[in-house]
Amino acid sequence: MKPQILVTRAVFPEVIARLSQHFEVASNQSDELWTKAELIEKLKGKVGAFTNGSDRIDAEVLDANPQLKICANMAVGYNNFDVDAMTAHKVLATNTPDVLTETTADFGFALLMATARRMTESEIYLRQGKWTKWSYDMFAGSDIHGSTLGILGMGRIGQGIAKRGAHGFGMKVIYHNRSRLDAATEAECKAHYVSKEELLKTADHVVLVLPYSPASHHTIGAAELAQMKPSATLVNIARGGIVDDAALAKALREGRIAAAGLDVFEGEPKFNTDLLTVPNVVLTPHIASSSVPTRMAMANLAADNLIGFLLKGKALTPINPSAAQA
Ligand code: GLV
């Protein structure tokens, strides 16, 4: 009998077919949203789970499923995992780094440009039939080229955005990160390390790419928004909860900053509906990594982690390798 695994949400049929060569696969191809109790129940008897960012894997889930050995997230972020509890239960956690870096950096840049150049606002105006004449200041936004790009969180995706800004658009790039990059990487990204305060005060465009943890909760709140230039834009492609969305909606309404672009939201897929009442915000439903080839690569990497670990004892991209040591 093949080992049993659970795929918690719909995914490419090709990937289900690959997994089915090695496992008895219980999959959710109808893409129902399960409660935690349902997830716990569906995991019964499964040694592996193919998860995504909305599946919370914590002590309650693990206590109820002591047979579980690996959860393979189809995401680079893994704040849905209680990694300490997983390690304590000897459950390996894996994610999908690298394969999404360039696609996500592309999207971060696209969202930055759409935000600075007011694309959503102007498209809505056009669709509403309001465009009847040319005006000298119609949807005048701010420039990307030659401006100062501030990146908070300088991992792989942050570096991808820095390179696009510095090399493609002649931007001055400043960054802040828990730890400073080595000199060679800084030179490659043409990026200068500054304090968070200096970044907020001097950047024309602030892009957030840091991982979510209790320590990064509301990294940008009312006080930080007040430090930014009134002409500045803010882009969040990191995680909901890193920005205080209520404070941001207020700052946008009051013109404290010029505009924002958000791909992630506190409590998503629900979000603060105040954001719908301010025009100067571009909103997208957490799609930064969503190109067809990249989503396929992410799904295949999550599958490779399950196959590698459950069949050969070796996952490609483990988060807590010590969990796999007996
Ligand atoms: C998407 O947000 C991811 O973490 O891959």
pLDDT in tens, 258-288: 999 999 999 999 999 999 999 999 999 999 9
Q: What is the rounded CA–CA span in Å between residue 302 and residue 27?
A: 14
Same-domain status, 142 and 234: yes
Q: How far does the centroid of ligand 1 lie from the alpha carbon of residue 316, in Å?
A: 17
Whether 286 is catalytic is yes
Q: What is the pLDDT of residues 109-122, one digit of tens each?
A: 999 999 999 999 99
Average pLDDT over residues 298-306: 98
Same-domain status, 191 and 307: no
pLDDT score, position 297 = 98
Q: Which of ligand 1's atoms lies nearest the C-alpha of 239?
A: 2
Whether 254 is catalytic is no
Domain boundary at 283, 300, 316, which? 283
Same-domain status, 205 and 143: yes
Tokens 């000298």 found at: 136
Q: Is 80 exceeded by the pLDDT of residue 12? A: yes
Q: Which of ligand 1's atoms lies nearest the C-alpha of 100?
A: 5
Q: Is 80 exceeded by the pLDDT of residue 87? A: yes
Q: Is the CB of 99 under 6 A from ligand 1?
A: no
Predicted confidence band at 245 (pLDDT cuts at 50, 70, 90)? very high
Q: Is 90 exceeded by the pLDDT of residue 311? A: yes
Same-domain status, 121 and 60: no
Average pLDDT over residues 22-43: 98
Same-domain status, 159 and 172: yes
Q: What is the pLDDT of residues 131-187, one digit of tens each?
A: 999 999 999 999 999 999 999 999 999 999 999 999 999 999 999 999 999 999 999
Q: How far does the centroid of ligand 1 lie from the alpha carbon of residue 264, in Å?
A: 10
Same-domain status, 29 and 64: yes
Average pLDDT over residues 88-102: 98
Q: How far does the centroid of ligand 1 lie from the alpha carbon of residue 314, in Å?
A: 23
Average pLDDT over residues 229-245: 98
Q: 3-state class of 157 per DSSP?
A: helix
pLDDT score, position 2 = 97
pLDDT score, position 325 = 74
Helix pair angle (101-116, 292-312), 10° resolution = 150
pLDDT score, position 91 = 98
pLDDT score, position 216 = 97
Q: 3-state class of 318 per DSSP?
A: strand
The one catalytic residue among 89, 117, 118, 286: 286
Q: How far does the centroid of ligand 1 lie from the alpha carbon of residue 26, in Å?
A: 24
Same-domain status, 265 and 134: yes
The residue whose CA is least distant from atom 1 of ligand 1 is 75
Same-domain status, 105 and 95: no
Tell me the residue range of the domain where 79 lies: 4-99+292-325
Average pLDDT over residues 91-106: 98
Instruction: Count the alpha carbons within 13 Å of 69 in the hemisphere toward its beta carbon.
Output: 20
Q: What is the rounded CA–CA span in Å between residue 134 and residue 152?
A: 38
Same-domain status, 255 and 176: yes
Q: What is the rounded CA–CA span in Å between residue 208 and residue 105?
A: 11
H or E element in which residue 115 lies:
helix 101-116
Tokens representing 35 are 């409660």
The one catalytic residue among 239, 253, 254, 295: 239
Mean pLDDT of the chain: 97
Q: Is the CB of 77 under 6 A from ligand 1?
A: yes
Q: 3-state class of 71 per DSSP?
A: strand
Per-residue H/E/C for 184-240: HHHHHHCEEECCHHHHHHHCCEEEECCCCCHHHCCCECHHHHHHCCCCCEEEECCCC
Residue of 306, 305, 271, 265 lying closest to 288 (CA atoms): 265
The residue whose CA is least distant from atom 3 of ligand 1 is 75
CATH of the domain at 106: 3.40.50.720
Whether 217 is catalytic is no
Q: What is the rounded CA–CA span in Å between residue 281 and residue 258?
A: 9
Domain count, the chain: 2
Residue of 303, 301, 259 lying closest to 120 (CA atoms): 259
Same-domain status, 199 and 238: yes
Say how far residue 292 (Cα) sits from the centre of its chain.
Answer: 17
pLDDT score, position 326 = 58
Q: Which of ligand 1's atoms lies nearest the C-alpha of 264?
A: 2
Average pLDDT over residues 16-28: 98
Tokens representing 63 are 């206590």
- Measure the CA angle with vertex 45, ends 41 and 47; round to 5°: 115
Q: How far does the centroid of ligand 1 lie from the alpha carbon of residue 240, in Å?
A: 11
